[in-house]
A and B are shown apart, each in its own frame.
Chain A
Amino acid sequence: MSTSPHQAIQPFYVLGLAPAATRAELEREAQKLLGMLELGLSSAASYATPLGPRQRTPELIRQAIAELRIPERRLLHELWAALPAPAPQPQPQPAADPSPGAPYRDHPAAPPPPHTPQTAPAPEAAPTFPGAFELFAWRRP
């Protein structure tokens, strides 16, 4: 499934407003956010959702406001937005891999890709050995 979960692109979260907002408030906020994005202001660049902060784009804002203009769609989104988005807090940036070329790391820096067919999970704190390919003189994929 390629579509994001409903909670991630909730129009009320995108606009940063509560379900009780009036239509004029929604329109005004959308207009303001579009302007802020156009001018490249970082304060408008992301929005808070229960799934963590997400990137705000002009398309998302347009879609959000278009959805909320249709009363029955708005009603549906009000249900999803019954859980208030957490107050935005500075998210710690995912730490960059200190030395991607290093052959040995004690902790996985990144989770395995979700579609890895092998089912066995890596045990807690199991080391990885990215240098294993060099051991056989193979190029690291």
Chain B
Amino acid sequence: MTRCAAPALLLLLALVAHDAAAPQINGRADLVVAILFTLFLWAATLYTLLVQGGLTWTLTRWFAVPLGLPITAYHLGRHAARWRHDPHGGGALMAVLALHRRPEREPAVAERLQTWLAANPLKTAGLVANGLRYALHGERDLARDLLQAALTAEADRPSTLAATYAADWLCADAAARGAWDELIDLGARPIATSRGAAFLIAVARRLLGRGAPSPTDAGLRLAWWLAPRHSLTRPLLLRALAQPRVLHRSPAPPPPPPPPHEDPPLPQDPLPRALALHARVLLAAPLALRLQPARLGDACRAWDDLHRSGLIHQLTAERALHLGVSARAEAVQDAFFAEVAADLAAISERAALPLPQALAAADPAEPTPGAITERAIAQLRSRLLTELEAAIDALDACAARPALPALDAWREWERLRQLHHRAAALGGTALRQLVFPGLHRSACNFAVWLWNERKEHAIAAPIFRWLLAEAEHVGDEAAITLQRKNVGVKAS
């Protein structure tokens, strides 16, 4: 209210003064006074119109951004009433949007952008601006993480414009990668999406036939017509229309049919057979999607059987005699199985496929791991724990660095969260319970530090929420109580 009242009062005063002075202009001094009054009058009028009347926003949105004028966009944008809770972040967001319109990278402008973004504390608009800046630099993974985090931070106030920009970019990114189910997830969140994003989400729903009712042909066409850039999106529209509409979600997606395999026949001898199965898994592992759990399970089983059979022992003993290293035969055999186990652990990690699950898929009747698989499981678990320990240590170290920019603090947290996500997928609840006490201690301290000392509420709040969810999963009563309090207090 006061922001509106003050300029209005000024305007009124100026008008009064102008009128009062007008009839008595005689002499030079009076003329100067009159000119100053007039200038003041105009400035006040302009300010009222620009800031309070929404003209700044209009100019930014429809003039500075489309023309690719980042500096103008920043200075106009930060005065827009829309960003009054986060002028720096809002201005920077507008500047990034303008930069996206420029045909090439401009390091000088990017540099200035970074200084604007360094302003603390970081709020949603700032997070989104940072995310879009990373997108501009081609760091798509980082951009995706940051924008996802911005949406999480917005969980309580999902309707802001910054969240819409974030959702738009995430939609575009998912569509560009063909990850249509991510689009469906985005569509399910309570975010005001733009018309372009709405069209992409509709296409996703039609293509996959799930997530809200699959749109009709007419619905699709309408969404397309409302979205911009018709010529660009027409092929996608046609592709979606070609997909038959699914009215009910099929009860369960059919398991991917075993590919009609061009696999060479497996050798008969146990060692070459195990090696061939191993190679087959490795061939599929770089593209985790192609690795079927049963295949990994088969390989594990083959190694376990080979180990149990004692064949390698016999083989190494014979050859060692020939090569004159009989004394080392045992060590060589050990080294060989250690390398096999290391490979299996690496494959399991890369494919995010737990080995027990793979074994069960290969032979549900015999899911118990043998010696080699056990070794691989233990090795992977110890690796994940070490990684997590290091990430927790790094988080602890953050609080000792008061100059740490908010975004870097967020990245430390984000790295730990992702690592935990990966480790949890591989190690299951057992591993989550194992790491939770230490993780909770460090992460909670970190978030409290961010909230209390750094006032970085946009970053700290999602951490509390995450901790609450994790505490609930592992069933840590004390942590649940604490985090409920934190989430409750912080959200108010």
Contacts and interface: CB of A to CB of B under 8 A. Distances in A.
A135 B141 contact: no
B43 to A, nearest CB: 34
A1 interface: yes
B232 A134 contact: yes
A122 B315 CA distance: 45
Contacts, number: 176
Interface stretch (B151-159, B325-333, B452-460): B325-333
Interface stretch (A24-32, A37-45, A57-65, A103-111): A103-111
Interface string A81-125: 011101000000000000000011010100111111111111110
B175 A128 contact: yes
B29 interface: no
B242 to A, nearest CB: 10
A127 B271 contact: no
Given A75-B316, A120-B181, A132 B283 contact: no
B239 A71 contact: no
B275 A134 contact: no
A29 B179 CA distance: 48
B141 A126 contact: no
Nearest to A127: B239
Contacts of B229: 134-135
A1 B288 CA distance: 15
A132 to B, nearest CB: 4
B176 A133 contact: yes
A132 B329 CA distance: 59
Given A82-B272, A137-B100, A139-B100, A106 B239 contact: yes
B16 interface: no
Given A129-B176, A132-B173, A137-B101, A117 B233 contact: no
Contacts of A79: 271, 312, 315-316, 332, 336
B100 A138 contact: yes
Contact of B276 (A83, A103, A131, A135): A83
Contacts of B418: 117
Contacts of B200: 129, 132, 135
B207 A118 contact: no
A111 B194 contact: no
A46 interface: no
Interface in A8-22: 8
Interface in B145-178: 145, 168-169, 171-173, 175-178
A6 B335 CA distance: 12
Interface string B340-378: 000100100110100000000000000000000000000
Nearest to B343: A5
Given A118-B179, A141-B136, A75 B325 contact: yes
Interface in B238-297: 239, 256, 264, 267, 269, 271-272, 275-276, 278-279, 282-283, 286-289
A67 interface: no
A115 B141 contact: yes
Q: Is the interface of A mostly helix, strand, loop or mixed?
A: loop
B81 interface: no
B290 to A, nearest CB: 9
Contacts of B478: none
Nearest to B331: A72
A138 B177 contact: no
Contact of B324 (A71, A82, A118, A135): A71
Contact of B177 (A72, A83, A122): A122
Nearest to B335: A76
Nearest to B327: A72
Contacts of A52: 283
B136 A139 contact: yes
A48 to B, nearest CB: 12
B135 interface: yes
Most buried by B among A123, A124, A131, A132: A132
Given A75-B316, A141-B136, A122 B179 contact: yes
B300 interface: no
Contacts of A136: 168-169, 172, 194, 196-197
B172 A51 contact: no
Contacts of B145: 117
Contacts of A124: 256
A131 B232 contact: yes
Contacts of B180: 122-123, 126
B107 interface: no
Interface of A: 1, 5-8, 49-52, 71-72, 74-76, 78-80, 82-84, 86, 103-104, 106, 108, 111-124, 126-141
Interface of B: 66, 100-101, 132, 135-141, 143-145, 168-169, 171-173, 175-182, 194, 196-197, 200, 207-208, 227-229, 232-233, 235-236, 239, 256, 264, 267, 269, 271-272, 275-276, 278-279, 282-283, 286-289, 312, 315-316, 319-320, 323-325, 328-329, 331-332, 335-336, 339, 343, 346, 349-350, 352, 418, 421, 425
29 contacts: A1-B346, A7-B278, A76-B336, A79-B271, A80-B336, A82-B271, A83-B271, A83-B272, A83-B279, A103-B232, A103-B235, A104-B235, A112-B177, A114-B288, A115-B141, A123-B208, A128-B177, A131-B233, A132-B171, A132-B175, A133-B172, A135-B172, A135-B232, A137-B66, A137-B100, A138-B132, A141-B135, A141-B136, A141-B140
